Chain A
Amino acid sequence: MALLPAPELAAAGGAMVPLWYRVAGKRRETHDTWTLTIEPDAEPMPRFAPGQFAMLYVFGTGEVPISVSGDLTGDGGDGPQVHTIRAVGAVSRALCALEPGAWLGARGPFGTSWPIAQAEGRDIVVVAGGIGLAPLRPVIYHVLAHRERYGRLVVAYGGRSPAELLYVSELEHWRGRFDVELDVTVDAAGAGWRGRVGVVPTLIPRARLDGSRTTAFVCGPEVMMRFTASALRDAGVPDAAIQVSLERSMKCAVGHCGHCQLRELFICKDGPVFSNDRVESLIRARPAL
């Protein structure tokens, strides 16, 4: 297959043309989830902000949107590009099957980011469910790297079972810090599990938040986010201070194709990060039959 050099490709297609990337590292997180570190072949590393996503392309198979999940706090925010991927379909399975040295295509960054800078001086609550911790991990890295700029850092994480929790060694590390309040719960566990069993919204009242000075970042299955937002409201956190990350079928990533449209919003371009007061009624509405 004849290929144009990367700069010519980029110039020719702009945001729609994937650039060549190589898998630099691979780590298994759970039975169906892997973390890939990828590097561009010739281009400089693009600068992502926490919450943004890339379109990752497995040649001959297809393309999927995957959030960045690595540490973006390095010099210029241009550290290695890290993506945690759950193998749930043809493309994501193919991505998870890539080994170090393999080639793939990538476009991005796309979408809105978590408004971390606007939350300086406030308490930060990170609420993640399942693989939703991946897009939120850069937020935690950022707050820890600039710890003096923020108040409390509360991390509430829920998973299906102990075996399906992501980043276990980092969870242990964060739990050991005096400046992180980490609470982890699972929906079901065997008798050997000594942690909490219950759904993640039940962690919110236990955090004893000061709603007036709290900004919450929430990512997970939409049902989990709805109930979490409700628990946050009950704790006094206004919808405008609750940030959620939505997921829809994103194809073009630039708001042209309409696959990810939710009423007047294009999730790929207007999101994926929204304040809850903007989308709460939209995600609560049932689709027309």
Chain B
Amino acid sequence: MQELPASHRTTIAGCGRAAVFRAGEYVMREGDPADVFYIIRSGSIALETEVPQRGPLVLETLQEGDLLGWSWLFPPYRTAFDARVLETAHTLMFDGACLRGKCDADPGLGYDLLRLFARVVIERLQSTRMQLLDVYGSVAGT
């Protein structure tokens, strides 16, 4: 968030507080109301989903500096995946409902925040597309 204007950072910080999660704890569960997001300061968190007959699969792991949670931005405000802590995670937790109200009141803040989240979404989408390519899968050879 360093690139945001100081005034916007101050506004966002007003909706945030520190939160610590221990290894094995779930930060979010699939289907829960999505009204918060996190910035990970240290530790590691796995995004997972339960696959029938295969058990939970880890889709991605997030670490220091990563942003967790964007379902709070758009209706129906439902969490899409489980987020399970792998290593004790120190985070900054932000109240999404509080921020949505502030964004509605200040479109400049809303624009900056959406740009920030859009960049994260694009990076994750590109990574997901690479994963879908299955570049290490079996190939015909000699």
Interface residues of A, Cβ cutoff 8 Å to B = 32, 62, 64, 86, 88-92, 129-130, 158-160, 164, 185, 187-191, 193-199, 201-202, 206, 220-221, 223-224, 227, 249
Contact = CB atoms under 8 A, between A and B. Distances in A.
A199 B130 contact: yes
Do most interface residues of chain A lie in helix, strand or loop, or is the interface mixed? mixed
A191 B58 contact: yes
Contact of B141 (A88, A190, A191): A88
B71 interface: no
Interface of B: 44, 46, 48, 54-61, 63, 84, 86-87, 123, 127, 130-131, 133-142
Contacts of B133: 223
Contacts of B135: 129-130, 220-221, 223-224
A187 B58 contact: no
A223 B142 CA distance: 20
Do most interface residues of chain B lie in helix, strand or loop, or is the interface mixed? mixed
A188 B136 contact: no
Contacts of A224: 130, 135
* Residue of A188, A197, A199 with most partner-chain B CB within 10 A: A197
Nearest to A187: B131
A199 B142 CA distance: 27
A159 B61 contact: no
Contacts of B59: 188, 197
A153 B119 CA distance: 30
